Amino acid sequence: VRASAIAQDADQNYDYASNSVVLHLEPGDEVYIKLDGGKAHGGNNNKYSTFSGFIIYAD
């Protein structure tokens, strides 16, 4: 499963974006963020990302 997002400039100081995905995972599965094509979110030295995961219910 792949989820992607495209962000635009919000103003001259900050950019922002949001996305979400719901996955059914098995023990040992890995979830990670990968930037395609060597691109980074943010400009200059402002390259920040956050990642959160939650168990909605256990099988």
Q: 50: how many CB neighbours lie within 10 A of its CB?
A: 5
- pTM of this prediction? 0.51
> Distance between CA atoms of 36 and 46, rounded to whole angstroms?
18
| Encoded tokens for 17 | 């974006």
pLDDT (tens digit, 0 to 9) for every residue of the chain, 59 residues total?
566 666 666 666 666 677 788 888 898 998 887 766 655 555 556 566 677 888 888 88
pLDDT at 7: 62
